[in-house]
Every structure is written in structure tokens, then in C-alpha cells.
Structure 1
Amino acid sequence: MQDHEGHVLAVEADLEYWRTKRLEPRVLQLHRRGVVTLYDLLRAAAHISAPPIAASIAEHDIEGRIRALEDRLDDYIRGIGLASIDPPEHPSVIEDTRKERGDYDDFFRIAKPHHDGTLDERIARLEHELREYQRLLQVLMHALLEKGVVTAEQIERQRAFLAGRGAWNGALIVARAWVDPAFKQALLTRGRDAVRELNIPPGRLGKLGVAENTATLHNVVVCTLCSCYPHDLLGDPPWWYRDDSFKESVVRDPRGTLAHRFDLPLPESVEVRVHDSTSDVRWMVLPRRPAGTEGWSEEELARLVTIDALVGAAEALSPASIARTER
């Protein structure tokens, strides 16, 4: 990790987004609907203490502290996902928080703190804030369980569902970009910020670079130093992604590697561009939308996106290939 400032900025932005746009509006909405009262939360708070800061990381180990922050942020975001289970008597109550978020009236918008000071001071502040926000999340979950609004079985099912998303998250990102020009533009220019809107935890992402394939440009992703890949966002990479022979050949002869190793011949009129994924900037490819998919839903489109397509080793599947596999 070289760009400490970039990683800290990303954690600050993500933390405030998920606090002001997801967790606290849900708490307010649940209270307004009478699902959870303030007394319920205060009583639950008596049983919950803030999680400890990782004691094994030395104060001067800036990179270790940033990595720990990213891990804790990922746990926090996934925890918010667990809290998104709809109470049976109040369908969609948790997600209907646009008023509490201040989307309609600035008066209701939750204030954001200023992140100033030295890098070390900002890291220390983030460590404290994340502990407190995690505690609020745990208090909310404890209150929901105590009142019987949700059950432990429901939470475990939701946990398993979130853990199994993997590459499907990448497919959903691509499908949304295919049908929503505004989201696509945000994805290409701001990467990580755009992904938040799909409720996908970024994990240890740092910055997300998105390379768009066009009729005249084909992109392929490699990590020349190790195997940097947006695991938390897209799941596990293809097995060959870590292979040294692939790394050497795709850097030396990307067009030949795609043609001979992946059976993806590209005409000379198409430029092939290689992107080196690092610990500071993780890359994914936005493949071209296949012809014949007009009118398809996002879920149908997502089924056309493979792990190989997300790193540029393949095109998205065609409708015909999907039809053949379903026969």
C-alpha cells in the first residue's frame, strides 16, 4: 500500500455514507413506525459494549491500522445488510427511509462531521467512530431480537445470502451500467462511490478502476506483483489470475494471450489495453452489452456476465449461449 491518504479518504467517505444513508435513517424509521422504541434501544445498549480496537497492531503501523479499519468497515456494512430484514408486520419498512435520509427536505438531512487533522489523527478518529457505529448497529440488532421482530434463524439466512454473493455482485454492477447511463458514468468516473448505491460492501478496495470495453478498445486486468483483485467486491478471481505464466504473457503479448489462451481473437482494429491491479487501485472490466438483449431485466442481463468477462479474458455471454445451457 502506497496511497495511505487515498485509503483513509475512502474509509471516511464510505463510513459517512453508510451511517447517514443507511443505518441511522433505519433506526429513525423503525422508531417512527413503532417497531422499536427509544426505550428498547436504551435497554439493549445496557447489554452491548463497543468492540475493542485490535491490540496487536502497533500505533506506528499506519498500513496495519488502515487495513484493520477497512476490515472493520466491511464488517459494519455487512452488519447493516443483516439489519435489512423486513419485519413481517411492516414490509419494506427498513428500506423506505428517504425522508429520514433528507432526500426530500434538507431539514432532515443527517449532519456529517469534518475530517480534518493529520493522517494519524484521522485514523484514530475513524477507529473510535467505527467502534461506536458498530455498537449502535449491535444495539439495534439486539433490540430487534429481544422484541421478536426478527429471529436468529432469519439473521443466519441473511448472513449466508450476503456471504454467497461473490461474482454475482460484479454481474449486478455491469447489468446496472448497461441499463442506466447515469450509473455507468458514475461507475467509470468515481468507481467506488457508484457501487455504494447497489448496497454492495466494498471491503478492502481502496480505489476501484473500471475500464469499459468498446467497439475499438478491449481491456484486460492483471496483477503483475501478486494477485491484487477486488475480492470483497467481486468474489474470488479465476484460478489462472494468480499464474505467473499468465502474468508474463499478457503483459508481453496481450492480444496473443487472449487469442491463444482464452480463445478470444480480436481484430487488429481493436486496441488491447492492459491494466495493472494494485493494492491502491483495483480494476474490473465493464464488458460490452451483447446484441439481442433489448428489454431484458437487470437480473437477466447479470446472468450473461462471467468472472472471466470481469477481467477482460472473455466477452459477456450471448443470449444464444444462455439458451443452450438451459436446454
Structure 2
Amino acid sequence: MDQSGWKSERITSQDGKIIIITGANSGLGLEASSILSAKGAKVIMAVRNLAKGNDAVSKTLHKNKNADVELMQLDLSDFNSIHRFSEEFHAKYSKLNVLINNAGIMYPKAREITKQGFETHLGTNHLGHFLLTGLVLDLLKNTPHSRVVTQSSALHKYGGDIHLDDLNLEKNYDKAKAYAQSKLANLLFTYELDRRFKKHKLNCISVAAHPGYTATSLQRSQGLLVALANQFIAQKIEMGTLPVLRASTEDGLAGAEYFGPTKWFEIRGYPEQVNSSDKSYDTELAKKLWDVSETLVGFKYNF
């Protein structure tokens, strides 16, 4: 699968596909919305802030006046909002080709919690997407060749661990540790979901991606040094979006692939299949996290 120099021009027609993209109001989600809608997909731009979402829709339509995009409200830090989104989506659509779990929280200035009281990285990046995927699973199951694409980060390798005895990091909070935990959780979820798809012989796959070091609004609270790094080291949004686009559209994937750049310790470059940390492939840890996650979100998957 060596396709060095993979670009969005390689994406084949997405006509007839319905794609949900979380966090579609800016950065990677907005760029993915623009490109996938230009390829013919019906893109549901799922956003927390409707005002910013409307601006994002305007930007997308400015690039392509024929883009088929729809704005829907979704706050991944609030389980009630996720349930409402699912109900609204089910009322309108009977299929779902691709779910792109893209939205994320990174390094707030102080420890924050979600509406249901979870540490915000865990609650938004992992639990929110875990619940969302479960709620739309029936539509994925009923759509041939559907896929779930989850955005992780190369930072899961640096201090990433699952603290089952203190998932909310109430005893020893550190924002870098919290973010790394959530991104490792994304990968454990991706691989376990794909295993369960295969176990139940479903025509669905679960894959993951990471954007390398890409300048996005995620880093807005990290100070002057990061701002300078964003300007001189980070990839532009157009490059950083390529891994998730490849994961979302490439034909012939078996499931459980992980795409990211390969240059400079996976900081930059075109997307290729890469390896995640050894811990991310720990099947026992994945099962434990899955069971805990179902308990925490109050929802059991129905395969």
C-alpha cells in the first residue's frame, strides 16, 4: 500500500455517500468537509457552536457552491447533546457511509470537566465519540462498506497510558498525560471496534489517522513558543487533513489501519500506513476500556 505522495486528487467519487464529520467548524474538520463535499458526498457538519458552524458552511459553499452540506449541532462533552444529535440524524437518514470522529480538546489552561463530570480530554475525545459511534451503529451496520474513522495523535506514544484506577486523573492531573490518554483510548477503541465488526461478520471497518504536527486551533492556549512552532514547523491544514481523508476514502482497506505522516518522527509528510504504540494493540486493555466506557456513558453496543 505504498503510495508516497498521496494527495486528495486520488479520492474517487463519493457520490451518494453520507458522511458525518465531528468538529467540522474549523481546522481539519472544515478542510475535510470541503474536500469530501467537492467529491460528491453529502456531508453532515457536526459542530458544537452553531454560529461558527454557519460560518464554516459559508466558507465551504464559497469554495464550491454546489456542495451538499448540512449543519447539525453536536456537543461531544454532553451526552444529552449526543443523544439529541442521534435522534435528529435518525429522523432524517436511513444510512451512514462514513463517521469521522475528528473533534477534539487539547490542553485547556486548567483542568476542566464535561457536563457529566468527566475530565474533558477523556470525556470529549474518547467517551463522546464512543457514545456517538454506538448510537449510530445501526445505520453503519445497514450500510454496505461503511467505516468509522477516528482521529488520534502521535502524542499517544509519549506518556500515553490508560489509568483505569483514575481515568479522570483526579489524583494526579497533568494536561499532557490527559491528552495522551485520550488519544491512546481513541486507538484502543478503533482496533477493538474493528475486531468486533469482524467477530460479528459485519460489512464495516474501523480505521484511524493522525495529522502529525498541524497548526490548528487546538493549540491556541499553549503560548508564544507553540505559536512560533505553528508558524515555522507545523504542517498546513491542507497537509494535516490528508491522513484522515485517506483513511476515510481509500478502497481495499481491511480494517484497523492507521494513517499518518512519516517524516520527522511522524510530524510532517504525506500520509502512509504507520504503526501506533505497542500498548494500543493490547487486546486485554482494549476490552477493559470498552467495558468501562459502556458503563460510563450508560450505553451498551448492539452488534
- The verdict on a shared fold, with TM-score over 0.5 as the criterion, is no
Larger radius of gyration: 1
Higher strand share: 2
**TM-score of the two chains, using structure 1 as the length reference:** 0.26
Name the structure with the higher helix share. Answer: 1
TM-score normalised by L of structure 2: 0.27
